[in-house]
Structure 1
């Protein structure tokens, strides 16, 4: 089984390089149910951090503890270098969050909803509300639909409005719980693009999701949860490095192609269903193709397969989870 470890939170937190640090964070409910078990998390500043796991793995419970919406049973945590919960009053105004989906008045416009949202924030300056609301709507691409009623918004527009609510002030950290949940492909692309834009401006974005493929498109780092426990965390590139790159050849000459792969010393040769694959190793794909052709193997197609995030997860746990939602 692949094992990957990021530097411990205790080693990185003191340097101020992490936006979120947890040590032994645990949540037990009545009846003995453990939702989050001894979580040590380190989220680098400026990253787009994917918090992955199947539904029920403890992602939302973790987010609720981080934001002070639920009290941990044990453990400690820091946001933006400040110990919690004592620093909530000074830190949370620098944190934007979307937890468990948007909730707005359907009969009000997007702009009017944000005015009420902003008025409920004791840290918000009412004198700058109009300017900040206009800027937030512009950032999420809803300036033209500002006076449109919320009930007429598409799912993608509703998610973008919720993110606008989280961006009504300057934010150093943005926490998004399943931001693409229930969206069609177009809405998913809209939210994905918005997350990348926000991160490019220097904000750390912490994205919880059960969709492996979606996280792979927008995140630089990930942590993987399973049944309340942290399985792995680190840069996606580093996690992928533990999985082998494979070469796959489509051919009617299965036995001959497998023999060529074996003669070249390629490892983990697999044959069947009109194709042969093996670990690429240090051989150049074009050289392998030339050897196949010289050996009389009919090559219908050749591809280099780099490990996906799903491959990494299966390598870590021996299991898969919902990739497509």
Structure 2
């Protein structure tokens, strides 16, 4: 269900039941000294098995929210549940089922990737030392770092470092994986590696909660999204529902703009426009191939034809009246 909130009114909790969600928050709020409100009345519902994008500009409250969810910061008010268990009382029982990467990876540069994971594993009181070797090997394999296991961390690329951090979060079976800006600072290749890894983890049944300030990354990676702006929730729901009802247009490159516009109008398309070597209209329910055939039959010289669907950026500009970073 798509939920859109106004920035000036309290949000309404989504109707998803806690049993169907990996994360639920109700009125979660964090105030700092001096009256600054970092997170204001947050109502989230993260469905089990989703890749959930937590989207917003830097400083919008994303990391503060994650720190509260994981028990690293105490909320000023509100409540939350992880994997169906009320927090914070249930944290000791639940955290072993949750993997997290918060505020970037931190490893010893002079140790190998494998040795760093051994230190992480040894610091976990719930980890069984008898199975450490097998679990570390499995985690490295899942992130594609088996061949680089003995290489020192300082020789890792940025993409490899992020993958090692995710491996550290996957040293045990996880039902929920929380990633705070996992592609931050990565080159295109590293970004693709992390994006592919997130999809693989989700395909195995793990809920993945990904925070980011980059629309393009959320759009390519996630099935659901929530948008933060200045500490408040603006909208949340499946990305497909966020796009529902948005206008899809067809654009025709042609020297015969007047003739093309006439054909588009004859097909009953709305919003017909022409000029500067192209004509266009709202596509509606019409099939693009039928439009192309009608243009050719009408003697229009078609140099190019494109269907223009709204990007996630277009959707959120419409919802909030403001834009987000697209590429960083």
TM-score between the two structures when normalised by the length of structure 2: 0.93
Specify the SS of the correspondent of 2:242: helix
Please show how residues 230-245 of structure 1 align to structure 2 within 5 Å.
230-245=233-248
- Is the CA contact 2:257–2:277 (under 8 Å) kept in the aligned structure 1? yes
Query: Which residue of the partner structure matches residue 277 of structure 2?
Result: 274
Please show how residues 6-21 of structure 1 align to structure 2 within 5 Å.
9=13, 11-14=15-18, 16-21=19-24
Supply the distance in 1 between the matched residues of 2:258 and 2:213 (Cα, whole angstroms).
40
Specify the SS of the correspondent of 1:288: helix
Q: Tell me whether 1:190 sits opposite 2:221 in the alignment.
A: no
Query: Which residue of the partner structure matches residue 300 of structure 2?
Result: 297
How many residues align? The count is: 322
Specify the SS of the correspondent of 1:268: strand
- Is the CA contact 2:109–2:152 (under 8 Å) kept in the aligned structure 1? yes
Higher alpha-carbon deviation: 86-95 or 272-281: 272-281
Supply the distance in 1 between the matched residues of 2:262 and 2:98 (Cα, whole angstroms).
58
Supply the distance in 2 between the matched residues of 1:57 and 1:277 (Cα, whole angstroms).
38
Supply the distance in 2 between the matched residues of 1:82 and 1:61 (Cα, whole angstroms).
20
CA positional deviation for 1:272: 4.2
Supply the distance in 2 between the matched residues of 1:64 and 1:43 (Cα, whole angstroms).
16
- Is the CA contact 1:24–1:74 (under 8 Å) kept in the aligned structure 2? yes
The alpha-carbon distance between structure 1 residues 272 and 92, as it changes in their structure 2 partners (threshold 3 A), is farther
Specify the SS of the correspondent of 2:3: coil
Please show how residues 134-283 of structure 1 align to structure 2 within 5 Å.
134-283=137-286
Specify the SS of the correspondent of 1:165: helix
Supply the distance in 2 between the matched residues of 1:4 and 1:256 (Cα, whole angstroms).
41
Query: Which residue of the partner structure matches residue 5 of structure 1?
Result: 3
Higher alpha-carbon deviation: 264-273 or 306-315: 264-273
Higher alpha-carbon deviation: 42-51 or 228-237: 228-237
Unaligned stretches of 5+ residues in structure 2: 5-10
Supply the distance in 1 between the matched residues of 2:205 and 2:13 (Cα, whole angstroms).
21
Unaligned stretches of 5+ residues in structure 1: none
Supply the distance in 1 between the matched residues of 2:150 and 2:156 (Cα, whole angstroms).
11
Supply the distance in 1 between the matched residues of 2:327 and 2:276 (Cα, whole angstroms).
25
TM-score between the two structures when normalised by the length of structure 1: 0.94
- Which residue, out of 115, 118, 122, partners 1:119? 122
Supply the distance in 1 between the matched residues of 2:230 and 2:99 (Cα, whole angstroms).
27
Partner deviation per Cα, 1:80-119 (whole Å, 9 max, x = no partner)? 0001111000001100000010000101111111111111
Supply the distance in 2 between the matched residues of 1:126 and 1:58 (Cα, whole angstroms).
37
CA positional deviation for 1:167: 0.3
- Is the CA contact 1:243–1:311 (under 8 Å) kept in the aligned structure 2? no
